[in-house]
Amino acid sequence: MIETYSIAAIPADGIGPEVIAAGVEVLSAIAETLGTFKIEFTHFDWSSDTYKKTGKYIPDGGLVQLKKHDAIFFGAVGAPERHSIVDMRADARVDVPDHISLWGLRLAICQPLQQYANVRPTRILPGITSPLRNCKPQDLDWVIVRENSEGEYAGQGGRSHRGCAWETATELAVFTRHGITRLMRFAFETARQRPRKLLTVVTKSNAQRNGMVLWDEVAAEVGKEFPDVAVDKMLVDAMTVRMVQKPDSLDTIVATNLHADILSDLAAALAGSIGIAPTANLDPTRQHPSMFEPIHGSAFDITGQGIANPVATFWTAAEMLAWLGEAEASTLLMNSVENICGRGIVTPDLGGTATTKDVTAAMLDDIKGVPEKTGQ
Protein backbone atom coordinates (compact mmCIF):
# COMPACT_ATOMS: atom_id res chain seq x y z
CA MET A 1 0.00 0.00 0.00
CA ILE A 2 1.21 3.50 -0.82
CA GLU A 3 2.06 5.58 2.26
CA THR A 4 0.07 8.82 2.61
CA TYR A 5 1.57 11.59 4.71
CA SER A 6 -0.70 14.19 6.26
CA ILE A 7 1.02 17.54 6.45
CA ALA A 8 -0.28 20.55 8.38
CA ALA A 9 0.55 23.68 6.39
CA ILE A 10 0.70 26.93 8.37
CA PRO A 11 1.75 29.70 5.95
CA ALA A 12 0.99 32.51 8.47
CA ASP A 13 2.38 35.99 7.74
CA GLY A 14 4.16 38.15 5.17
CA ILE A 15 5.96 36.10 2.51
CA GLY A 16 5.01 32.90 4.40
CA PRO A 17 1.93 32.23 2.21
CA GLU A 18 3.95 32.94 -0.98
CA VAL A 19 6.76 30.50 -0.21
CA ILE A 20 4.56 27.82 1.35
CA ALA A 21 2.30 27.82 -1.74
CA ALA A 22 5.44 27.25 -3.84
CA GLY A 23 6.59 24.50 -1.47
CA VAL A 24 3.23 22.72 -1.60
CA GLU A 25 3.33 22.72 -5.42
CA VAL A 26 6.84 21.28 -5.46
CA LEU A 27 6.09 18.62 -2.84
CA SER A 28 2.96 17.56 -4.71
CA ALA A 29 4.95 17.31 -7.95
CA ILE A 30 7.61 15.14 -6.31
CA ALA A 31 4.98 12.77 -4.89
CA GLU A 32 3.18 12.59 -8.24
CA THR A 33 6.36 12.02 -10.25
CA LEU A 34 7.70 9.27 -8.02
CA GLY A 35 4.30 7.70 -7.37
CA THR A 36 5.68 5.86 -4.34
CA PHE A 37 3.88 7.95 -1.69
CA LYS A 38 1.15 10.58 -1.37
CA ILE A 39 0.96 13.85 0.51
CA GLU A 40 -2.24 15.38 1.85
CA PHE A 41 -2.12 18.95 3.07
CA THR A 42 -4.39 20.50 5.67
CA HIS A 43 -4.19 24.29 5.70
CA PHE A 44 -4.39 26.19 8.95
CA ASP A 45 -5.06 29.94 8.78
CA TRP A 46 -3.20 30.66 12.03
CA SER A 47 -1.60 34.05 11.54
CA SER A 48 -1.34 37.59 12.82
CA ASP A 49 -4.54 38.43 10.91
CA THR A 50 -6.34 35.66 12.77
CA TYR A 51 -4.90 36.98 16.02
CA LYS A 52 -6.17 40.48 15.26
CA LYS A 53 -9.66 39.09 14.58
CA THR A 54 -9.93 36.52 17.37
CA GLY A 55 -7.28 37.42 19.94
CA LYS A 56 -5.63 34.03 19.43
CA TYR A 57 -3.02 32.66 17.06
CA ILE A 58 -3.94 29.07 17.87
CA PRO A 59 -7.63 28.42 18.54
CA ASP A 60 -8.75 26.26 21.47
CA GLY A 61 -7.97 22.64 20.70
CA GLY A 62 -5.64 23.68 17.88
CA LEU A 63 -2.62 21.76 19.15
CA VAL A 64 -4.69 18.58 19.38
CA GLN A 65 -5.56 19.01 15.68
CA LEU A 66 -1.93 19.66 14.84
CA LYS A 67 -0.70 16.55 16.62
CA LYS A 68 -2.75 14.37 14.27
CA HIS A 69 -0.41 15.17 11.37
CA ASP A 70 2.85 13.53 10.34
CA ALA A 71 4.67 16.85 10.03
CA ILE A 72 4.11 20.61 10.03
CA PHE A 73 5.15 22.86 7.14
CA PHE A 74 5.44 26.39 8.48
CA GLY A 75 5.96 29.75 6.72
CA ALA A 76 6.84 32.69 8.97
CA VAL A 77 5.17 34.67 11.70
CA GLY A 78 5.58 38.36 12.46
CA ALA A 79 3.34 41.33 11.73
CA PRO A 80 4.70 44.46 10.07
CA GLU A 81 5.78 46.11 13.29
CA ARG A 82 8.02 49.10 12.78
CA HIS A 83 11.56 47.95 13.18
CA SER A 84 13.62 51.08 13.08
CA ILE A 85 14.29 52.87 16.36
CA VAL A 86 13.67 56.15 14.54
CA ASP A 87 10.20 54.99 13.45
CA MET A 88 9.43 53.76 16.95
CA ARG A 89 10.30 57.14 18.43
CA ALA A 90 8.34 59.12 15.86
CA ASP A 91 5.10 57.22 16.14
CA ALA A 92 3.86 54.68 18.62
CA ARG A 93 1.83 52.82 15.97
CA VAL A 94 2.70 49.23 16.38
CA ASP A 95 1.09 46.20 14.82
CA VAL A 96 1.29 42.92 16.76
CA PRO A 97 4.60 43.15 18.65
CA ASP A 98 7.14 40.48 17.68
CA HIS A 99 7.29 38.91 21.13
CA ILE A 100 3.52 38.34 21.00
CA SER A 101 3.58 36.79 17.51
CA LEU A 102 6.62 34.58 18.11
CA TRP A 103 5.34 33.26 21.44
CA GLY A 104 1.75 33.12 20.17
CA LEU A 105 2.47 30.84 17.24
CA ARG A 106 5.97 29.49 16.57
CA LEU A 107 7.12 28.92 20.13
CA ALA A 108 3.59 27.88 21.10
CA ILE A 109 4.07 24.93 18.75
CA CYS A 110 7.79 24.11 19.26
CA GLN A 111 7.68 24.00 23.03
CA PRO A 112 4.56 21.90 23.79
CA LEU A 113 5.43 19.52 20.96
CA GLN A 114 8.89 19.08 22.46
CA GLN A 115 10.67 19.87 19.23
CA TYR A 116 13.87 20.25 21.18
CA ALA A 117 16.38 19.89 18.37
CA ASN A 118 16.48 22.58 15.75
CA VAL A 119 18.61 21.54 12.80
CA ARG A 120 19.99 24.03 10.31
CA PRO A 121 22.09 22.71 7.43
CA THR A 122 24.10 25.28 5.49
CA ARG A 123 26.14 24.89 2.34
CA ILE A 124 26.88 26.87 -0.77
CA LEU A 125 24.56 25.72 -3.54
CA PRO A 126 25.74 25.60 -7.16
CA GLY A 127 25.64 28.96 -8.90
CA ILE A 128 25.66 30.86 -5.61
CA THR A 129 28.67 32.84 -4.49
CA SER A 130 29.58 33.30 -0.86
CA PRO A 131 30.32 36.88 0.21
CA LEU A 132 33.53 35.41 1.69
CA ARG A 133 36.47 36.01 -0.61
CA ASN A 134 38.06 32.76 -1.82
CA CYS A 135 35.40 30.57 -0.17
CA LYS A 136 34.79 27.52 -2.34
CA PRO A 137 31.61 25.44 -2.00
CA GLN A 138 33.50 22.59 -0.34
CA ASP A 139 34.80 25.03 2.33
CA LEU A 140 31.39 25.66 3.83
CA ASP A 141 29.27 22.63 4.64
CA TRP A 142 27.85 22.82 8.13
CA VAL A 143 24.96 21.56 10.22
CA ILE A 144 24.03 23.76 13.14
CA VAL A 145 22.10 22.04 15.94
CA ARG A 146 20.22 24.55 18.03
CA GLU A 147 18.78 23.84 21.48
CA ASN A 148 15.10 24.58 20.91
CA SER A 149 13.24 24.15 24.19
CA GLU A 150 14.96 26.06 26.98
CA GLY A 151 18.06 28.22 27.47
CA GLU A 152 17.58 31.91 26.85
CA TYR A 153 14.11 31.33 25.33
CA ALA A 154 12.69 29.45 28.30
CA GLY A 155 10.17 32.23 28.79
CA GLN A 156 11.01 32.84 32.44
CA GLY A 157 11.42 36.33 33.81
CA GLY A 158 9.23 39.30 34.49
CA ARG A 159 8.75 43.02 34.69
CA SER A 160 7.98 45.07 37.74
CA HIS A 161 7.60 48.76 38.60
CA ARG A 162 6.35 49.44 35.08
CA GLY A 163 6.89 53.00 33.95
CA CYS A 164 8.94 53.95 37.00
CA ALA A 165 12.53 55.09 36.75
CA TRP A 166 13.47 51.90 38.62
CA GLU A 167 11.47 49.63 36.31
CA THR A 168 13.06 46.19 36.35
CA ALA A 169 13.01 43.38 33.80
CA THR A 170 14.60 39.96 34.05
CA GLU A 171 15.09 37.33 31.36
CA LEU A 172 16.15 34.08 32.90
CA ALA A 173 18.14 31.54 30.92
CA VAL A 174 17.27 28.01 32.02
CA PHE A 175 19.59 25.05 31.50
CA THR A 176 18.64 21.60 32.74
CA ARG A 177 20.76 18.45 32.76
CA HIS A 178 17.90 16.64 31.02
CA GLY A 179 17.53 19.31 28.33
CA ILE A 180 21.26 19.54 27.60
CA THR A 181 21.82 15.78 27.65
CA ARG A 182 19.13 14.96 25.10
CA LEU A 183 20.27 17.77 22.81
CA MET A 184 23.97 16.83 23.05
CA ARG A 185 23.14 13.20 22.24
CA PHE A 186 21.27 14.38 19.17
CA ALA A 187 24.17 16.65 18.15
CA PHE A 188 26.76 13.87 18.55
CA GLU A 189 24.54 11.49 16.57
CA THR A 190 24.24 14.10 13.82
CA ALA A 191 28.02 14.62 13.75
CA ARG A 192 28.59 10.85 13.67
CA GLN A 193 26.44 10.49 10.55
CA ARG A 194 28.56 12.99 8.64
CA PRO A 195 31.87 12.05 6.99
CA ARG A 196 34.07 14.31 9.12
CA LYS A 197 32.64 13.23 12.50
CA LEU A 198 33.52 16.58 14.05
CA LEU A 199 31.38 18.45 16.58
CA THR A 200 32.08 21.99 17.74
CA VAL A 201 30.40 22.87 21.05
CA VAL A 202 29.67 26.60 21.26
CA THR A 203 29.61 28.11 24.74
CA LYS A 204 30.11 31.24 26.79
CA SER A 205 31.20 29.59 30.00
CA ASN A 206 33.92 32.13 30.70
CA ALA A 207 31.36 34.83 31.45
CA GLN A 208 28.23 32.83 32.23
CA ARG A 209 29.45 30.67 35.03
CA ASN A 210 26.41 28.54 35.85
CA GLY A 211 24.21 27.42 32.98
CA MET A 212 27.00 27.50 30.43
CA VAL A 213 29.35 25.56 32.70
CA LEU A 214 26.70 22.84 33.08
CA TRP A 215 26.35 22.91 29.29
CA ASP A 216 30.10 22.27 28.87
CA GLU A 217 30.14 19.55 31.54
CA VAL A 218 27.23 17.65 30.01
CA ALA A 219 28.78 17.98 26.53
CA ALA A 220 31.96 16.38 27.86
CA GLU A 221 30.01 13.58 29.58
CA VAL A 222 27.89 12.78 26.53
CA GLY A 223 31.02 12.97 24.38
CA LYS A 224 32.33 9.88 26.17
CA GLU A 225 29.50 7.89 24.55
CA PHE A 226 30.83 8.94 21.12
CA PRO A 227 34.57 8.22 21.09
CA ASP A 228 34.56 8.21 17.28
CA VAL A 229 33.42 11.85 17.12
CA ALA A 230 36.08 14.56 17.48
CA VAL A 231 34.94 17.48 19.68
CA ASP A 232 36.17 20.99 20.13
CA LYS A 233 34.85 23.93 22.11
CA MET A 234 34.45 27.55 21.03
CA LEU A 235 33.36 30.67 22.87
CA VAL A 236 30.49 32.14 20.87
CA ASP A 237 32.22 35.44 20.12
CA ALA A 238 35.33 33.71 18.77
CA MET A 239 33.04 31.36 16.86
CA THR A 240 31.83 34.21 14.62
CA VAL A 241 35.45 34.90 13.67
CA ARG A 242 36.17 31.24 12.94
CA MET A 243 33.05 30.94 10.77
CA VAL A 244 34.27 33.84 8.65
CA GLN A 245 38.00 33.10 8.60
CA LYS A 246 38.20 29.31 8.67
CA PRO A 247 34.85 27.97 7.46
CA ASP A 248 36.49 24.72 6.35
CA SER A 249 37.54 23.95 9.94
CA LEU A 250 33.88 23.42 10.97
CA ASP A 251 31.35 20.68 10.33
CA THR A 252 28.61 20.03 12.92
CA ILE A 253 27.99 22.79 15.45
CA VAL A 254 25.90 22.68 18.63
CA ALA A 255 24.83 25.84 20.43
CA THR A 256 22.20 27.24 22.77
CA ASN A 257 18.85 28.59 21.64
CA LEU A 258 20.04 32.21 21.38
CA HIS A 259 23.61 31.58 20.24
CA ALA A 260 22.55 29.24 17.45
CA ASP A 261 19.77 31.59 16.40
CA ILE A 262 22.36 34.27 15.72
CA LEU A 263 25.07 31.99 14.33
CA SER A 264 22.68 30.39 11.87
CA ASP A 265 21.69 33.75 10.37
CA LEU A 266 25.41 34.44 9.92
CA ALA A 267 25.83 30.98 8.40
CA ALA A 268 22.97 31.63 5.96
CA ALA A 269 24.44 34.96 4.90
CA LEU A 270 27.88 33.38 4.41
CA ALA A 271 26.29 30.73 2.20
CA GLY A 272 24.70 33.40 0.01
CA SER A 273 21.33 34.50 1.41
CA ILE A 274 18.88 34.07 4.25
CA GLY A 275 16.46 33.23 1.42
CA ILE A 276 17.96 29.76 0.95
CA ALA A 277 18.32 28.53 4.54
CA PRO A 278 16.10 25.73 5.92
CA THR A 279 15.22 24.62 9.46
CA ALA A 280 13.82 21.49 11.02
CA ASN A 281 12.31 21.68 14.50
CA LEU A 282 12.55 18.05 15.49
CA ASP A 283 11.09 15.92 18.22
CA PRO A 284 13.72 13.18 17.90
CA THR A 285 11.55 10.82 20.01
CA ARG A 286 8.90 11.06 17.23
CA GLN A 287 6.15 11.25 19.84
CA HIS A 288 4.97 14.50 18.26
CA PRO A 289 5.10 15.79 14.70
CA SER A 290 8.16 17.83 13.82
CA MET A 291 7.94 21.26 12.20
CA PHE A 292 9.81 22.39 9.09
CA GLU A 293 10.24 26.04 8.10
CA PRO A 294 12.55 28.38 6.25
CA ILE A 295 14.86 30.25 8.65
CA HIS A 296 13.75 33.65 7.41
CA GLY A 297 10.91 35.72 8.82
CA SER A 298 7.89 37.35 7.24
CA ALA A 299 9.96 39.89 5.25
CA PHE A 300 7.35 42.61 4.96
CA ASP A 301 9.70 44.73 2.88
CA ILE A 302 9.14 42.35 -0.07
CA THR A 303 5.72 40.86 0.74
CA GLY A 304 3.33 40.83 -2.21
CA GLN A 305 6.04 41.68 -4.73
CA GLY A 306 6.37 38.10 -5.94
CA ILE A 307 10.14 38.06 -5.45
CA ALA A 308 10.51 36.03 -2.24
CA ASN A 309 13.15 33.36 -2.67
CA PRO A 310 11.36 30.00 -2.37
CA VAL A 311 14.62 28.00 -2.18
CA ALA A 312 14.71 28.02 1.65
CA THR A 313 11.23 26.50 1.60
CA PHE A 314 12.18 23.90 -1.04
CA TRP A 315 15.24 22.88 0.97
CA THR A 316 12.99 22.78 4.05
CA ALA A 317 10.61 20.49 2.15
CA ALA A 318 13.55 18.21 1.31
CA GLU A 319 14.47 18.05 5.01
CA MET A 320 10.85 17.15 5.79
CA LEU A 321 10.82 14.34 3.24
CA ALA A 322 14.07 12.95 4.65
CA TRP A 323 12.61 13.01 8.18
CA LEU A 324 9.49 11.20 6.96
CA GLY A 325 11.74 8.48 5.54
CA GLU A 326 11.45 9.46 1.87
CA ALA A 327 15.19 9.70 1.18
CA GLU A 328 14.88 9.27 -2.57
CA ALA A 329 12.31 12.06 -2.86
CA SER A 330 14.41 14.31 -0.67
CA THR A 331 17.49 13.78 -2.85
CA LEU A 332 15.48 14.35 -6.00
CA LEU A 333 14.12 17.62 -4.66
CA MET A 334 17.58 18.87 -3.66
CA ASN A 335 18.99 17.84 -7.04
CA SER A 336 16.35 20.01 -8.70
CA VAL A 337 17.14 22.93 -6.37
CA GLU A 338 20.82 22.59 -7.32
CA ASN A 339 19.99 22.38 -11.03
CA ILE A 340 17.84 25.50 -10.93
CA CYS A 341 20.34 27.53 -8.89
CA GLY A 342 23.16 26.26 -11.09
CA ARG A 343 21.30 27.52 -14.16
CA GLY A 344 21.04 30.99 -12.59
CA ILE A 345 17.26 30.94 -12.16
CA VAL A 346 17.39 32.89 -8.90
CA THR A 347 15.53 35.72 -7.20
CA PRO A 348 16.93 39.26 -6.63
CA ASP A 349 18.35 38.46 -3.15
CA LEU A 350 20.83 36.22 -5.01
CA GLY A 351 21.45 38.78 -7.72
CA GLY A 352 18.97 37.27 -10.20
CA THR A 353 15.85 38.55 -11.89
CA ALA A 354 13.57 35.52 -11.49
CA THR A 355 10.31 35.78 -9.55
CA THR A 356 9.04 33.27 -6.98
CA LYS A 357 6.78 31.88 -9.71
CA ASP A 358 9.65 31.59 -12.25
CA VAL A 359 11.79 29.62 -9.81
CA THR A 360 8.84 27.40 -8.87
CA ALA A 361 7.90 26.75 -12.51
CA ALA A 362 11.50 25.83 -13.33
CA MET A 363 11.54 23.46 -10.34
CA LEU A 364 8.32 21.78 -11.46
CA ASP A 365 9.72 21.26 -14.97
CA ASP A 366 12.96 19.89 -13.60
CA ILE A 367 11.16 17.48 -11.27
CA LYS A 368 8.86 16.28 -14.03
CA GLY A 369 11.84 15.91 -16.38
CA VAL A 370 10.64 18.51 -18.89
CA PRO A 371 13.63 19.40 -21.09
CA GLU A 372 15.39 22.64 -20.25
CA LYS A 373 14.12 25.60 -22.30
CA THR A 374 16.78 27.20 -24.45
CA GLY A 375 17.56 30.86 -24.05
CA GLN A 376 16.53 30.95 -20.40
Q: Which residues bind Mg ion (CB under 5 A)?
A: 261
Q: Which does 261 bind (CB under 5 to 8 A by kind): ligand NAI, Mg ion, none?
A: Mg ion
Contact positions with ligand NAI (CB under 6 A) in 37-76: 76
Nearer to ligand NAI by Cβ, of 83 and 178: the residue is 83
Phi then psi for residue 298, to 5 deg, are -80, -10
Among 349, 359, 360, 363, binds ligand NAI (CB under 6 A): 349
Determine if 148 is a binding residue for ligand NAI (CB under 6 A): no
Q: Which of 77, 144, 180, 363 binds ligand NAI (CB under 6 A)?
A: 77
CB of 260 to ligand NAI, least distance (A): 13
Of 9, 26, 106, 226, the one binding ligand NAI by CB under 6 A:
106
Binding residues for ligand NAI restricted to 152-181, rule: CB under 6 A: none
Selection from 319, 334, 352, 312 nearest residue 129 by Cα: 352
Contact set for ligand NAI, span 9-28 (CB under 6 A): 15, 19
Answer yes or no whether residue 297 interacts with ligand NAI by CB under 6 A: yes
Q: Which of 49, 171, 248, 301 is the binder for ligand NAI (CB under 6 A)?
A: 301
Among 111, 264, 309, 330, binds ligand NAI (CB under 6 A): 309
110 lines the binding site for ligand NAI (CB under 6 A): no
Provide, rounded to whole angstroms, the least separation between the CB of residue 65 and ligand NAI: 20
296 touches ligand NAI by CB under 6 A: yes
Q: Candidates 63-71, 176-184, 214-222, 297-305: pick the segment binding ligand NAI (CB under 6 A).
A: 297-305
Q: Which residue is nearest to Mg ion (CB)?
A: 261
Kindly list the residues in this chain that would bind ligand NAI in the complex (CB under 6 A).
Answer: 15, 19, 76-78, 81, 98, 102, 106, 274-275, 293, 296-299, 301-302, 308-309, 312, 347, 349
